[in-house]
């Protein structure tokens, strides 16, 4: 077959974590819908999890151009990949996986008569080192960053924050305003910066780790462009700042919703998308079906956050005492204690209005008519999923971009309450009442408005819609 007549062949390499893999799989589907051939590279660990619990194979059977490849993340299979051990994963990817990645690119293994050689690589920008490997073999790279643009902008401004003396924090005044981040003046405080900025002294190992990797995190010059899972409606002013450093921005999000809109016009033979790395407990949908409209607070802290037994108990009492109905996701590995030491059963009286699962079909849950609020760790995917469904949030950020995201939710977008740095049953109870009862109309109104703006970006004439068309055209011309 004349290879010139074949569609572009894109190699996609996500950061091997639930959120980024989810987002990149959505992008892969969008590109498949444009007729592209995709080779999607997963680490063995993630692949095994997805094989166990997701329907990735049956879903992607519908796309003849989609193919999976796997690579080792360099860690033993039983090594934890969440909480404090996340750094081990990042280090191993950089040192061990990159050697294997280079072998894969040069081995010819990705070639076949039915595909063109790889046209370009779409890789998570946090793995900037992948760019060197790809450029070495003469291929263009497009970066994706699956966290928020507002956090990416904080990374860009880190050197300035250190230069101005705003990092390290010299006192305990976490409410002090930060002045050296253009576009965030007036609302960003010390406590809204990523946790690793909370250090009194330099050098600090945690902050140092980020500073050392900063060139990679913010690197744009060696890539053809940068794809962001966000939209002008959400982060327009910050995108304008980033644009000065990365002129070729493709803001095409929220990806999960973008895909949903693109599929509306397609024959509906696709099984529902389920990319989870834990078994989804669908019984919670049946439980939600029996609850009154907008009465349930959905509680989930994502795929990586780990809490102590004390924190868990504060949430437990706060939720029960609030009197609200709740659906709580307690991941098997999410509490740093022996699971037998924590109460997982709801007591009489509470069992009617509470439901606990190990992993939920989150997008479906947030879209359910019974859900009226989301107590979240402010992971970027969770935030986008909540925004699109118009669900107000209570934020309890855990790490990385989440401190910044929660400030945007609470102060900039006014979509809920930011509870960061507190984990006290009385405050939790009060905050839940405020979101679900006392101020529910105010939050629902702004959440509905924001959902409308975010969806408009995905329609013909909207910015995310146009940017995806541009991305497809640019890859075709490579
Ligand atoms: N998620 C899910 N079921 C759950 C909890 C989370 O499907 O019970 C999904 C959620 O929809 C989101 C992802 O897991 O797409 C979590 O990504 P996020 O960026 O919010 O947080 P992270 O897990 O990276 O901290």
C-alpha 378 to ligand 1 mean position (Å): 10
The token duo for 314 is 């504060």
The domain 7-151+206-274+459-476 is placed in CATH, from the list 1.10.10.410, 3.40.50.2000, 1.10.520.20, 3.30.540.10, at 3.40.50.2000
Residue nearest to atom 5 of ligand 1 (CA): 302
Counting residues of the chain whose pLDDT is more than 70, the rounded percentage is: 97
Residue nearest to atom 1 of ligand 1 (CA): 362
Predicted local distance difference test score (pLDDT) of residue 411: 97
CB-based pocket (< 6 A), ligand 1: 17-19, 22, 276, 300, 302-304, 329, 359-360, 362-363, 379-382, 385
Q: What is the mean pLDDT of residues 250-262?
A: 96
| Eight-class DSSP state of 328 | E
**pLDDT tops 80 at residue 347:** no
Predicted local distance difference test score (pLDDT) of residue 84: 73
Of 17, 19, 229, the residue with max ligand 1 atoms within 8 A of its CB, to mutate for a pocket test, comes to 19
C-alpha 124 to ligand 1 mean position (Å): 17
Of 303, 327, 389, the residue with max ligand 1 atoms within 8 A of its CB, to mutate for a pocket test, comes to 303
Residue nearest to atom 11 of ligand 1 (CA): 362
The residue behind tokens 């050689």 is 117
Predicted local distance difference test score (pLDDT) of residue 171: 61
Residues across the chain: 478
Q: How many CB atoms lie within 10 A of CB 96?
A: 15
Residue nearest to atom 17 of ligand 1 (CA): 19
What are the angstrom distances between the C-alpha of 242 and each of 161, 183, 236, 238, 411? Answer: 16, 10, 10, 6, 21
Run of H or E residues at 228: strand 225-228
Predicted local distance difference test score (pLDDT) of residue 339: 66
| Eight-class DSSP state of 323 | -
Run of H or E residues at 26: helix 18-33
Q: Cα–Cα distance between 445 and 135 in angstroms, integer? A: 48
Mapped onto helix, strand or coil, the DSSP state of residue 251 is: strand
The DSSP bridge partners found for residue 68 are 40
C-alpha 168 to ligand 1 mean position (Å): 31
Query: Which atom number of ligand 1 is nearest to the Cα of residue 379?
Result: 20
Q: Cα–Cα distance between 407 and 417 in angstroms, integer? A: 9
Please give the mean pLDDT across all residues of the chain.
91
**pLDDT tops 80 at residue 269:** no
Q: What is the mean pLDDT of residues 376-392?
A: 97
Counting residues of the chain whose pLDDT is more than 90, the rounded percentage is: 69
**Beta carbons within 8 Å of 218's beta carbon, 6+ residues apart:** 152, 155, 156, 245
Query: Which atom number of ligand 1 is nearest to the Cα of residue 380?
Result: 19
**pLDDT tops 80 at residue 429:** yes
- 223 with 133: CB under 8 angstroms? no
- Note every long-range contact of 466-474, with CB atoms under 8 Å and residues 24 or more positions apart, other chains counting: 467/249, 467/250, 467/251, 467/252, 468/30, 468/250, 468/252, 468/258, 470/250, 471/142, 471/225, 471/227, 471/250, 471/252, 472/31, 472/34, 472/36, 474/224, 474/225
Query: Which atom number of ligand 1 is nearest to the Cα of residue 357?
Result: 8
Where helices occur in 328-376 by DSSP H, the ranges are: 362-367
Q: What is the mean pLDDT of residues 78-99?
A: 87
The residue behind tokens 């007549």 is 5
Q: Note the ipTM here.
A: 0.99
Residue nearest to atom 21 of ligand 1 (CA): 379
Nearest to 453 by CA among 256, 233, 229, 230: 233
Q: Cα–Cα distance between 199 and 170 in angstroms, integer? A: 8
Q: Cα–Cα distance between 123 and 15 in angstroms, integer? A: 8
Window from 101-115, 160-174, 287-301, 376-390 with minimum mean pLDDT: 160-174
Q: What is the mean pLDDT of residues 324-351?
A: 81
Query: Among the ranges 167-181, 212-226, 422-436, which has the highest mean pLDDT value?
Result: 422-436
Q: What is the mean pLDDT of residues 364-379?
A: 98
C-alpha 383 to ligand 1 mean position (Å): 9
C-alpha 330 to ligand 1 mean position (Å): 12
Query: Which atom number of ligand 1 is nearest to the Cα of residue 360?
Result: 8
- 295 with 323: CB under 8 angstroms? no
Q: What is the mean pLDDT of residues 187-193?
A: 95
Predicted local distance difference test score (pLDDT) of residue 439: 98
Predicted local distance difference test score (pLDDT) of residue 273: 78
C-alpha 325 to ligand 1 mean position (Å): 21
pLDDT per residue as tens digits for the range 21-55: 999 999 999 999 999 999 999 999 999 999 998 88
**pLDDT tops 80 at residue 327:** yes
The residue behind tokens 């070639």 is 111
Q: Whole-model pTM?
A: 0.94
C-alpha 388 to ligand 1 mean position (Å): 15
Of 301, 302, 383, the residue with max ligand 1 atoms within 8 A of its CB, to mutate for a pocket test, comes to 302
C-alpha 478 to ligand 1 mean position (Å): 34
C-alpha 419 to ligand 1 mean position (Å): 19
Question: Which DSSP string corresponds to 88-150?
Answer: HHHHHIIIIIHHHHHHHHHHSTT--TTSPSP-EEEEEGGGTHHHHHHHHTT--EEEEE-S-HH
Domain ranges of the chain: 7-151+206-274+459-476, 291-454
Query: Which atom number of ligand 1 is nearest to the Cα of residue 147?
Result: 19
- 301 with 396: CB under 8 angstroms? yes
Q: Cα–Cα distance between 388 and 457 in angstroms, integer? A: 11
**pLDDT tops 80 at residue 338:** no
Q: What is the mean pLDDT of residues 86-100?
A: 90
| Fold equal for 7-151+206-274+459-476 and 291-454 | yes
277 pLDDT band, cuts 50/70/90, is confident
- 400 with 194: CB under 8 angstroms? yes
Predicted local distance difference test score (pLDDT) of residue 420: 94
What's the CATH code, domain 291-454?
3.40.50.2000
Q: What is the mean pLDDT of residues 411-432?
A: 97
Predicted local distance difference test score (pLDDT) of residue 170: 64
The DSSP bridge partners found for residue 43 are 71
C-alpha 358 to ligand 1 mean position (Å): 12
C-alpha 203 to ligand 1 mean position (Å): 33
**Beta carbons within 8 Å of 198's beta carbon, 6+ residues apart:** 169, 174, 190
**pLDDT tops 90 at residue 240:** yes
C-alpha 47 to ligand 1 mean position (Å): 17
Predicted local distance difference test score (pLDDT) of residue 220: 82
Predicted local distance difference test score (pLDDT) of residue 444: 98
């Amino acid at each position: 077959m004349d290879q010139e007549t074949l569609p572009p062949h894109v190699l996609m390499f996500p950061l091997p974590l639930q959120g980024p893999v989810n987002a990149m799989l959505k992008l892969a589907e969008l590109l498949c819908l444009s007729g592209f051939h995709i080779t999607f590279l997963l680490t063995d660990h993630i692949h095994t999890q997805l094989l166990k619990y997701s329907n990735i194979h049956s879903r992607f059977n519908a796309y003849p151009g989609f193919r999976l490849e796997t690579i080792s993340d360099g860690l033993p299979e039983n090594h934890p990949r969440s909480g404090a051990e996340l750094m081990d994963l990042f280090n191993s990817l950089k040192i061990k996986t990159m050697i294997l990645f280079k072998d894969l690119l040069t081995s010819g293994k990705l070639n076949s008569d039915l595909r063109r050689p790889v046209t370009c690589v779409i890789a998570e920008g946090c793995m900037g080192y992948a760019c060197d490997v790809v450029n070495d073999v003469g291929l263009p790279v497009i970066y994706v960053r699956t966290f928020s643009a507002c956090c990416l902008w904080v990374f860009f401004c880190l050197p300035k924050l250190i230069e101005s003396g705003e990092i390290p924090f010299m006192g305990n005044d976490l409410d002090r305003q930060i002045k050296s981040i253009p576009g965030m003046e007036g609302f960003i405080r010390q406590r809204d910066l990523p946790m690793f900025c909370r250090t009194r002294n330099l050098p600090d190992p945690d902050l140092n780790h980020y500073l050392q990797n900063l060139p990679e995190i913010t690197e744009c010059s060696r890539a053809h462009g940068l794809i962001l899972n966000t939209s002008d409606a959400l982060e327009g002013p910050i995108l304008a700042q980033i644009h000065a450093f990365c002129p070729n921005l493709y803001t095409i999000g929220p990806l999960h919703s973008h895909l949903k809109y693109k599929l509306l016009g397609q024959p509906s033979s696709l099984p529902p998308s389920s990319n989870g790395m834990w078994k989804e407990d669908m019984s919670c949908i049946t439980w939600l079906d029996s609850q009154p409209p907008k009465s349930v607070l959905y509680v989930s802290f994502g795929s990586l956050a780990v809490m102590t037994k004390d924190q868990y108990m504060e949430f437990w009492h706060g939720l029960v005492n609030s009197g609200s109905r709740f659906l709580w996701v307690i991941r098997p590995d999410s509490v740093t204690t022996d699971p037998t030491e924590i109460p997982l059963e709801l007591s009489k009286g509470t069992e009617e209005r509470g439901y606990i699962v190990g992993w939920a079909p989150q997008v479906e849950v947030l879209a359910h008519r019974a859900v009226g609020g989301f107590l979240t760790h402010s992971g970027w995917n969770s935030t986008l999923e909540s925004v699109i469904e118009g669900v107000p949030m209570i934020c309890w950020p855990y790490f990385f971009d989440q401190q910044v995201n929660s400030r945007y939710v609470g102060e900039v977008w006014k979509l809920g309450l930011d509870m960061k740095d507190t984990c006290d049953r009385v405050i939790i109870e009060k905050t839940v009442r405020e979101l679900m009862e006392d101020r529910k109309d105010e939050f629902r109104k702004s959440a509905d408005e924001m959902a409308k703006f975010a969806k408009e970006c995905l329609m013909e004439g909207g910015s995310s819609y146009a940017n995806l068309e541009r991305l497809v055209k640019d890859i075709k011309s490579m």
